[in-house]
Chains A and B, each alone.
Chain A
Amino acid sequence: MALTGLQIFKLLPNTNCKDCGFQTCLAFAMKLAARQAELDLCPHASEEAKEILGAAATPPIRLVKIGTGPREVTVGEETVLFRHDKTFYHATAIALSLTDTMPDDEIAQRISEAEGINFERAGENLTVNLLALLSESGNAERYAETARKISDESGMPLILCSDDPQLLKPAVDACAVRRPMIYAATEKNWESMAELARSFKVPLAVRHHGSLSDLHDLASKIREAGVEDLVLEPGAGTLAMALENQTLIRRAALEQSDKSFGFPTLVRLGGGDEGPLTVSSAATLAICKYASIVILDRYEPWMFLPLLTLRQNIYTDPQKPLQVDPVIYAIGEPGPDSPLAVTTNFSLTYFIVSTEIEGSGTPAWLAIVEAEGLSVLTAWSAGKFGGELVGKRLLEMGVEEKVSHRKVIIPGYIAVIQGEMEDAMPGWEILVGPEEAGDIPAYLKEVWE
């Protein structure tokens, strides 16, 4: 838990010797609290102060990395229970499972499908993150061979799933350099699993579906055995239980600085006979309520766009909407005769409109007017997208040099600004476009031929 300036001050010598470069111990304490200085600057700090401040500086939820290279997965280091208090940082990583009993060509196909899931949305690429390899053959050699192949051929990090340490060992050995996660240590096998994770320096998932205090004990023992990178899987048999366990773990980490619960969490879904919609509804809860990793044992291609969009929503920084630069964008290869349209600098808006223009096949200029990252109607209601303002900005941006005609298309929802814009842009014709971006292609065809 972060300390206040005053709490830190009480730990300092209070001699105001200025060796740290600050006028007083209090001034230095304030800088420390704001994380604008490091304790090392004070040569007189006691061991006790170093320890307390050191502990306060380590994040309450450990950052755990799985895999290597560009698709490395980072989870944990969250700081709040409610996203409006700051933001959620490391988006829920989605893992798709496959088994070592699948024929090689099916495995290859699944991998390429998983790698191919990539939706561009509001300037981000939404992807799934991990492959979870289940051991169903019971054959350590086959399992290790499959794991090696996947880690050689795919950039996606692996979760190696088996409760049998003996069976896992060759597989972990085969791809340890790619930093797979082991799944999972349990009450029965934890000693050998901890040994495996420690010797190969890979993260370890800890599973206990009973009481939280049993999971806590298990995590404590494994921590004491020297494994630092843990991921916790509490019971999630019903949605109520999933919500309760995830909430209590997050709270214990953040509010009680509980070290054994100071880890990212995992939820595994789709192993039963529920239909894919029910699995997805559980995944929705998991994404909203704190799961760092979701393993899907059952999935359908249509699940990903909704689930990944939800994840993007929940993990967006609430203080600052995603924005694009307020400039004139060329969509396709427009020339001086091409249409000119205008919208706001809200990323989502820009993304939707530019996608539609692109899809229309008519190259066009899209001028983005700065509006604090608000959507068209929100910006207009907030007084950031009035006709006079938009008109003035367009002229300042140099639309007159970009196009030889004198027409500009505005969003249909704010048809009311047409008059004001005409006044602000003498000689220009202000065309009211359709309300929904989806109708832009038809509109361009009709109006711009």
Chain B
Amino acid sequence: MAFEITTKTWPGKIPEITLGKDKGGGFRTVTIGGEETLPFHHFEGRTANRPVIALEVPDSDPENWIELAKEPYRDVLDNPVAWAKRAVDDFGADLLCLHLRGAHPDRGDRSAEECAELVRTVLDETRVPLIIKGPGPSDKQNEVLRKCGEAAEGEGCLLASAVEGHYQTLVATAIAYGHYLVAETPIDVNLAKQLNILISEMNLPPQRIVIDPLTGGLGYGLEYTYSVMERIRLQGLGGDPMLQMPMICFVGEETWKVKEVKTTAEDQPDWGDQRGRALLWEIGTAVSLLISGAGILVMRHPEAAAVVRKAVGELMGEGN
């Protein structure tokens, strides 16, 4: 009996989303989505765009990061604009994730106006699309993201994140100023769908939503995220329009906080060299989420990002 490949096609398709704004002068956009098949199943369907990698840019010195993660930015820790430029120019970020952590009342309580100014400067100076991540679901986040959204009108930014109970202001902001929205729910297909419905009912088109299925890092819930993403993608391709969004995974923040990454080789000799172990912790999380359906990976360490970028290239069938 000879072997013949049997292929599968799907009724659903993931719509394409183009982040950023093409205004000439070296400004870049990034297009994600467009999958008509399971991740990287090129033998049976089209994957229109490669998944992209965003690097994290904290708005202020991230005092809770370990040394290893700060190392590439040692001299610009308190200069988010220089940090952002380096992430793009030297480390090849496709886009940036500006984390407005300093706007949190416990971390400096930076004003919405200051945040908006920073967003403007980063946009003008780096020329890549921007994910604007607020300080966490709260009234302050709503205020901050509204001001930032206004300052970045028409720039096609991705605002993060709308959650159950805190989404209305962000939806209105995305509609008013032409942005995209991350909809975050805790590792559950039905909750993801429900939030997308609520957001769509406020008239933000589903093609403007990116799902954050919530990342459990390697060893800390990764398998749950992995499976929920596979299920979301299967249902989306199966035809459910409320689950056809591209997915984003905040890989960096989930991996760099865990003990296996923070512990030195002196403290745990049998775990081996900390640097390789830590980078692999981030790479392993990223690659597994890539093959379960991520369209945007938000990563922390440029070296880990470089290895994952190479993996994306191979998975897209480039090179040998």
B212 to chain A, nearest CB (A): 17
In the complex, the answer to whether B273 meets A300 with C-beta atoms within 8 Å is: yes
| Per-residue interface assignment for chain B, residues 291 to 305, with 1 indicating a CB less than 8 Å from any chain A CB and 0 otherwise | 110000000000110
In the complex, the answer to whether A302 meets B223 with C-beta atoms within 8 Å is: no
**In the complex, which residues 97-139 of chain B have their Cβ closer than 8 Å to any Cβ of chain A?**
none
In the complex, the answer to whether A316 meets B223 with C-beta atoms within 8 Å is: yes
**Which residues of the other chain, A, contact B43 by a CB distance below 8 angstroms?**
244, 248
Query: What CA separation (Å) do A11 and B288 show in the bound complex?
Result: 44
Across the interface, A305 reaches (CB within 8 A) one of B1, B272, B283, namely B272
* A284-B287 in contact given A212-B5, A256-B6, A258-B3 (Cβ < 8 Å): yes
* A238-B314 in contact given A302-B273, A309-B260, A313-B219 (Cβ < 8 Å): yes
In the complex, the answer to whether A216 meets B310 with C-beta atoms within 8 Å is: no
In the complex, the answer to whether B276 meets A313 with C-beta atoms within 8 Å is: no
In the complex, the answer to whether B272 meets A260 with C-beta atoms within 8 Å is: no
Which residues of A come within 8 Å of B, CB atoms?
82-84, 116-117, 119, 121, 212-213, 216-217, 220, 237-240, 243-244, 247-248, 251-252, 255-256, 258, 260-261, 276-278, 280-282, 284-285, 288-289, 300-307, 309-310, 312-314, 316, 318, 348, 352, 375, 381, 437-438
Residue picked from B6, B284, B304, most chain A C-beta under 10 Å: B284
Least CB separation from A303: chain B residue: B280
Query: What CA separation (Å) do A304 and B268 show in the bound complex?
Result: 13
In the complex, the answer to whether A309 meets B2 with C-beta atoms within 8 Å is: no
Across the interface, A300 reaches (CB within 8 A) one of B3, B231, B276, B311, namely B276
Q: Is B201 an interface residue (CB 8 A)?
A: no
Query: What CA separation (Å) do A318 and B187 show in the bound complex?
Result: 13
* A306-B281 in contact given A82-B230, A281-B311, A300-B276 (Cβ < 8 Å): yes
In the complex, the answer to whether B272 meets A301 with C-beta atoms within 8 Å is: yes
A286 to chain B, nearest CB (A): 10
* A313-B218 in contact given A277-B279, A305-B277, A306-B280 (Cβ < 8 Å): yes
In the complex, the answer to whether A240 meets B42 with C-beta atoms within 8 Å is: yes
**Which residues of the other chain, A, contact B273 by a CB distance below 8 angstroms?**
300-302
* A239-B315 in contact given A212-B3, A213-B2 (Cβ < 8 Å): yes
Number of interface residues of B (CB under 8 A): 55
Q: Is B202 an interface residue (CB 8 A)?
A: no
In the complex, the answer to whether A289 meets B319 with C-beta atoms within 8 Å is: no
Q: Is B166 an interface residue (CB 8 A)?
A: no
**Which residues of the other chain, B, contact A284 by a CB distance below 8 angstroms?**
283-284, 287-288
Q: Is B308 an interface residue (CB 8 A)?
A: yes
In the complex, the answer to whether B227 meets A306 with C-beta atoms within 8 Å is: no
A113 to chain B, nearest CB (A): 10
B2 to chain A, nearest CB (A): 6
B4 to chain A, nearest CB (A): 7
B320 to chain A, nearest CB (A): 6
A212 to chain B, nearest CB (A): 6
In the complex, the answer to whether A310 meets B262 with C-beta atoms within 8 Å is: no
B41 to chain A, nearest CB (A): 7
B272 to chain A, nearest CB (A): 3
Using A217-B3, A285-B291, A306-B281 as known contacts, list a sample of 15 further A-B pairs with CB atoms less than 8 Å apart, ordered by residue number in A: A84-B227, A238-B317, A238-B320, A243-B40, A244-B41, A258-B1, A281-B310, A288-B288, A301-B270, A306-B277, A306-B280, A309-B218, A314-B288, A348-B219, A375-B221
Q: List 28 A-B contacts (CB under 8 A).
A: A82-B227, A83-B226, A238-B314, A238-B320, A243-B40, A247-B41, A251-B6, A252-B6, A260-B1, A260-B3, A261-B3, A277-B304, A277-B307, A281-B308, A284-B283, A284-B284, A288-B292, A302-B271, A302-B276, A302-B277, A303-B272, A303-B276, A303-B280, A304-B272, A306-B281, A309-B284, A310-B288, A348-B220
B317 to chain A, nearest CB (A): 5
Query: What CA separation (Å) do A288 and B223 show in the bound complex?
Result: 10
In the complex, the answer to whether B2 meets A216 with C-beta atoms within 8 Å is: yes
Query: What CA separation (Å) do A312 and B220 show in the bound complex?
Result: 11
In the complex, the answer to whether A248 meets B5 with C-beta atoms within 8 Å is: yes
Task: State the 3 A-B residue pairs at the shortest beta-carbon distance, nearest first.
Answer: A302-B272, A216-B3, A301-B272
In the complex, the answer to whether B276 meets A314 with C-beta atoms within 8 Å is: no
In the complex, the answer to whether B1 meets A240 with C-beta atoms within 8 Å is: no
In the complex, the answer to whether A310 meets B272 with C-beta atoms within 8 Å is: no
**Which residues of the other chain, A, contact B320 by a CB distance below 8 angstroms?**
237-238
**Which residues of the other chain, A, contact B308 by a CB distance below 8 angstroms?**
281
Across the interface, A278 reaches (CB within 8 A) one of B260, B284, B310, namely B310
B305 to chain A, nearest CB (A): 11
In the complex, the answer to whether A280 meets B227 with C-beta atoms within 8 Å is: no
Across the interface, B311 reaches (CB within 8 A) one of A217, A239, A301, namely A239
Least CB separation from A302: chain B residue: B272
Query: What CA separation (Å) do A265 and B51 show in the bound complex?
Result: 28
Least CB separation from B310: chain A residue: A278
In the complex, the answer to whether A83 meets B3 with C-beta atoms within 8 Å is: no
Across the interface, B280 reaches (CB within 8 A) one of A252, A280, A348, namely A280
Query: What CA separation (Å) do A215 and B30 show in the bound complex?
Result: 40
* A277-B226 in contact given A244-B42, A288-B288 (Cβ < 8 Å): no
A285 to chain B, nearest CB (A): 6
In the complex, the answer to whether B218 meets A310 with C-beta atoms within 8 Å is: yes
Residue picked from B280, B303, B311, B319, most chain A C-beta under 10 Å: B280
Residue picked from A121, A243, A289, A438, most chain B C-beta under 10 Å: A243
**Which residues of the other chain, A, contact B283 by a CB distance below 8 angstroms?**
277, 280-281, 284
In the complex, the answer to whether B223 meets A313 with C-beta atoms within 8 Å is: yes
Residue picked from A82, A83, A252, A281, most chain B C-beta under 10 Å: A281
Q: Is B68 an interface residue (CB 8 A)?
A: no
* A83-B227 in contact given A121-B219, A216-B3, A306-B260 (Cβ < 8 Å): yes
Least CB separation from B290: chain A residue: A285
Query: What CA separation (Å) do A176 and B120 show in the bound complex?
Result: 70
B284 to chain A, nearest CB (A): 5
Query: What CA separation (Å) do A375 and B219 show in the bound complex?
Result: 13
**Which residues of the other chain, B, contact A256 by a CB distance below 8 angstroms?**
6
In the complex, the answer to whether A281 meets B287 with C-beta atoms within 8 Å is: yes
Q: Is B48 an interface residue (CB 8 A)?
A: no
A222 to chain B, nearest CB (A): 14
In the complex, the answer to whether B3 meets A213 with C-beta atoms within 8 Å is: yes
